[in-house]
Amino acid sequence: MLEVQHISKSFGGVKATDDVTLDFATGSLTAVIGPNGAGKSTFFNLITGALKPDSGRILLDGVDMAGRSPPDIVRHGIGRAFQVASIFPSLTVSETMLAAVGADQRRASVMHRRFPLAETRERADYVIELLGLANKRDRIASALSHGDQKLLDIALALVLEPKVLLLDEPTAGMGTEERWRMIEKVHELWVREKITVVFIEHDMDIVFKIALSIVVLCYGRILATGTPDEIRRNPAVIEAYLGTDEHAGAL
Amino acid sequence: MSELNVENRAGAVPYVARPRRAAAIDVVAAVVAFAILAALPFLFDSKALLDFVIRCAAFGLFATSLNLLVGYTGLISFGHGMFFGLGAYGFGLLMQRANVSIPVAMVCTLAITAVAAVVIGAICVRLKEIYFAFVTLAFQMLIHSVILSWQSLTGGDQGLRGGIKRPVFWGIDLTNHVQLYIFSCALLVIGLLLMRQIAQSPFGYTLRMIRDNATRASFIGINVWRAKLTVFVLAALFASAGGMIMSLFVSGAYPEFAYWTISGEGIFINMLGGVTTFLGPMVGTVILLILNDTATRLTEHYGLVLGIVILFFALGLRKGLMDFAVDWYRAWRDKAKEQS
């Protein structure tokens, strides 16, 4: 369903993404790992149109997404959440969701009717419930806790009913307990919504616990792909990335 | 302007859950406001009062349209006055030279403004904040210089002289001062109602999203550039309508209407009244015009008085009067809730 073929991106002389080819099967749950500067965020930015690849193709159900604008790619069904929660600070949770559904229904330019549109309510409410934000629906986004802002960011991606959901470090900046709650939520979403989920994560406990497959990036290249068991036993991975003492324990 | 905290921005108030009712309330409020304004000439025999309200209508439309850009979209234009000037000159010239009726001249002026705004907006709205501000200012200066130098058409620094003919249309005679007054009030109320509708529509919320986080808006599928251009053109049309009222009022047009200081006054009005409420700029307009009229009567140091008032609002209140009133009301309401 999502096939990335030979994409590359350089900044100056540095190859941030170097000839990456990957297949994400429909309904898969994939973790992207790799040390800092491995090109994980760049990889996401290329798929979602924030950056244009120098070469290569990004096929979603056979249609090439490479080089298209973010709104165009979103409309084809690739949604994303950001490492730093990217929300609308002055809107309430409800308003955010209602406006996002309206945008998805191509009603963002409607002027002759009042906000919120009746036809946006059902889906907005559904996603608010799904992410457990129902009791905070009238809160202004900037007043939410860090964790709830991350949830709202994911809700913004999810409410567009994407085929593929890319989550850039959903647990970034959270304490251990909150991390597990967040990742359980992500897992629950994947089970309930039956979408393809790709997430970046640093915590190896989390990665090996929930991911069905793992992609290891290093210096912009693919070091290894496989199931958690395969990755755990892969000598190149152990040496290059997981070989340090602190990570060896996680294996 | 960047000082404003996010909870205090336009549209931060949670939406009304019953949109149809909210729309009905706005219409009723507009009808009541118009009725009150229309009754004034029969209650007070004061030409000065009517003149004051006509000027409020012209500048109020202009300032409120600027708030669509500044408060709702986060586009701080320093050249919005060019559309006020374009409205005044476009309408004045059409009435003087084209021998058309007033409604035809108005529609044509709006069309001219729209074309100009599409061209200028297409160049400007891609630019980041400070560049947007400066390039809009540059276009304002350009239009002002064209008006000054194209003497055969615009009369140069003398402005459009000889007055504007006001042929009767639909039984309305704008040479009659009371009828001109009521016509201006009608344009004001209709303009405000339309802008209110834009602000509270799904498109209005698209603008708020762009103001808050344009990157995120594009990642939920919004074409940010197109939305910014749309609001830029819409705001220009209302500013142009303000200019037309001014042109009718002074029976001509002067280069000052297109000078950058008009844009500056628009920004100033928004600071005075506040950008977080829809009617903030209207309140700001009334304050500025009262200030203007009293200060110029009492002292020749008008600029000094204005400067002190700006400092008071910018450094003292740190927000506009309506923002202040809303905050005060909310604090009072929360306190009352706690006690009960």
Query: Kind of pairing, strands A14-24 and A2-11?
Result: antiparallel
A142/B7 CB distance under 8 A: yes
State mean pLDDT over B184-196.
97
Q: How confident is the model at residue B329 (pLDDT cuts 50, 70, 90)?
A: confident
User: Cα B246–B251–B256 angle (5° rounding)?
Assistant: 55
* Cβ count near A157 (within 10 Å): 26
Q: Tell me if B107 is assigned to some domain.
A: yes
Asked if A84 reaches chain B (Cβ–Cβ under 8 Å), the answer is no
| Separation of alpha carbons A137 and A184, rounded Å | 21
Give chain B's mean pLDDT.
89
Shortest CA distance from A118: residue in chain B: B19
Instruction: Collect all residues of chain B within an 8 Å Cβ-Cβ radius of residue A117.
Output: 202
Residue B326 in any domain: the answer is no
Domain spanning A2-250, CATH class: alpha beta
- Nearest CB to A90: which of B203, B208, B223? B208
Tokens found for residue B147: 């008006």
Q: Searching chain A, which residue's CA lies closest to the CA of residue B218?
A: A71
Nearest to B206 among A103, A104, A143 (CB): A103
Is A94 part of the contact surface with chain B (CB cutoff 8 Å)?
A: yes
Residues 6+ apart with CB under 8 A from B200: A114, A115, B15, B19, B22, B23, B26
What's the distance, Cα to Cα, between the start and end of chain B in Å?
Answer: 37
Give the pLDDT score at B2.
37
Provide φ and ψ at B88, rounded to 5°.
-65, -50
Any CB–CB contact under 8 A between B202 and chain A?
A: yes
Q: Which residues have CB under 8 Å from B322's CB, separation 6+?
A: B273, B274, B276, B277, B279, B280, B283, B284
Q: What is the CA radius of gyration of chain A?
A: 18
Q: In what order do the strands lie in the sheet with A14-24?
A: A14-24, A2-11, A55-60, A63-64
Q: How far does A104 lie from chain B, in Å, by closest CA?
A: 7
User: CB B221 to CB A74 under 8 A?
Assistant: yes
Q: Is A100 on the interface with B (CB under 8 A)?
A: yes
Select from A72, A114, A120, A152 the residue whose CB has the most chain B CBs within 10 Å, as the one to mutate to test that interface: A114
State how far the Cα of A230 lies from the Cα of B141, in Å rounded to an integer.
67
Single-letter code of the amino acid located at A12: G
Q: Which helix (H) or strand (E) holds A125?
A: helix A118-130
**CA quadruple B187, B192, B193, B198: dihedral sign:** positive
CA B281 – CA B331 distance, rounded (Å): 22
Partner residue facing A70 (CB), from B22, B201, B219: B219
pLDDT of B179 above 90: yes
Q: Let me know the angle formed at the C-alpha of A100 by A95 and A105, rounded to the nearest 5 degrees.
A: 125
Question: Chain A partners of B230 at a C-beta cutoff of 8 Å?
Answer: 109
| Alpha carbon A72 to chain centroid, angstroms | 17
B12 contacts on A by Cβ (under 8 Å)? 90-91, 140
A124-138, B86-100, B294-308: the lowest-pLDDT one: B294-308
CB-nearest partner of B212 from A89, A94, A100: A89
Largest CA distance in chain B: 71
Q: Looking at the complex, does the CB of residue A91 fall below 8 Å from at least one CB of chain B? A: yes
Task: Give domain status of residue B265, yes or no.
Answer: no
CA B6 to chain CA centroid, Å, is 23
**Minimal Cα distance from A76: which residue of B?**
B221
Helical H runs in chain B?
19-43, 47-67, 81-93, 102-124, 129-149, 151-154, 177-199, 202-218, 224-250, 260-273, 280-298, 302-311, 321-339
Q: Distance (Å, rounded) from C-alpha A95 to C-alpha A138?
A: 8
Q: What is the pLDDT of residues B67-88, one digit of tens each?
A: 999 999 999 999 999 999 999 9
Contact, A18 vs A189, CB < 8 A? no
* Phi/psi at A215 (5° precision): -115, 125
How is residue B169 annotated by DSSP? B
Confidence of residue B292 (pLDDT cuts 50, 70, 90): confident
* Domain assignment of residue B39, yes or no: yes
Examine residue B311 and state whether it is found in any structural domain, yes or no: no
DSSP-derived 3-state class of residue B315: helix
Inter-chain CB proximity B216 and A86 less than 8 Å = yes
* Chain A: residue whose CA lies nearest to B22: A114
Residue B157 domain-assigned (yes or no) = yes
The strand pairing partners of A55, in sequence order, are A8
Q: Does A78 touch chain B (CB under 8 A)?
A: no
Alpha-carbon gap: A153 to the closest alpha carbon of chain B (Å): 9
Is the pLDDT reported for residue B7 higher than 50? no
Q: What is the pLDDT of residues B122-149, one digit of tens each?
A: 999 999 889 999 999 999 999 999 999 9
Report the DSSP pairing between strands A213-218 and A29-33. parallel
Tell me the sheet residues that pair with A3: A23, A59
The answer to whether A165 contacts chain B (CB < 8 Å) is no
User: With an 8 Å Cβ cutoff, is B321 touching chain A?
Assistant: no
Query: Per-residue pLDDT for B11 more than 50?
Result: no
Q: Is the pLDDT confidence value at B4 over 50? A: no
pLDDT in tens, A112-170: 999 999 899 999 999 998 888 999 999 999 999 988 999 999 999 999 989 999 999 99
Domain presence at residue B141: yes
Distance from CA of B280 to the nearest CA of A (A): 18
Q: B156 vs B159, B235, B245, B254, B323, CA distance in Å?
A: 6, 27, 21, 9, 41
d(Cα B325, Cα B327) in Å, to the nearest integer?
6
Q: Which residues of B touch A91 (CB under 8 A)?
A: 11-12, 205, 208-209, 212
Band of pLDDT at residue B8, cut at 50, 70 and 90: very low
| Domain membership of residue B239 as a residue range | 6-259
B292 belongs to a structural domain: no
Burial A199-217 (b: 16+ CB within 10 A, else e): bbbebbebbbebbebbbbb
Dist CA B107 CA B91 (whole Å): 9
> Apex CA B208: angle with CA B205 and CA B211, to 5°?
155
Q: In this structure, are residues A212 and A27 in contact, taking their beta carbons and an 8 Å threshold?
A: no
ipTM of the prediction? 0.87
Cβ–Cβ below 8 Å for A109 and B220: no
In chain A, residues with a C-beta closer than 8 Å to the C-beta of B198 are 111
What is residue A117's DSSP assignment? P
Residue B297 identity (one-letter amino acid): R
The answer to whether the CB atoms of A140 and B7 lie below 8 A apart is yes
Within its chain, how far is the Cα of A33 from the centroid? 13
On the CB side of B302, CA atoms within 13 Å amount to 11
Beta strand A196-200 with A29-33: parallel, antiparallel or unpaired?
parallel
The answer to whether B246 touches B288, Cβ cutoff 8 Å, is no
Asked whether residue A249 carries a pLDDT value surpassing 70, the answer given is no
Residues for chain A: how many in total?
251
Q: Which amino acid is at B300?
A: E
Q: Take residue B330 and report the two structure tokens written for it.
A: 């909310």
Number of domains forming the structure of chain B: 1
pLDDT at A12 over 80: yes
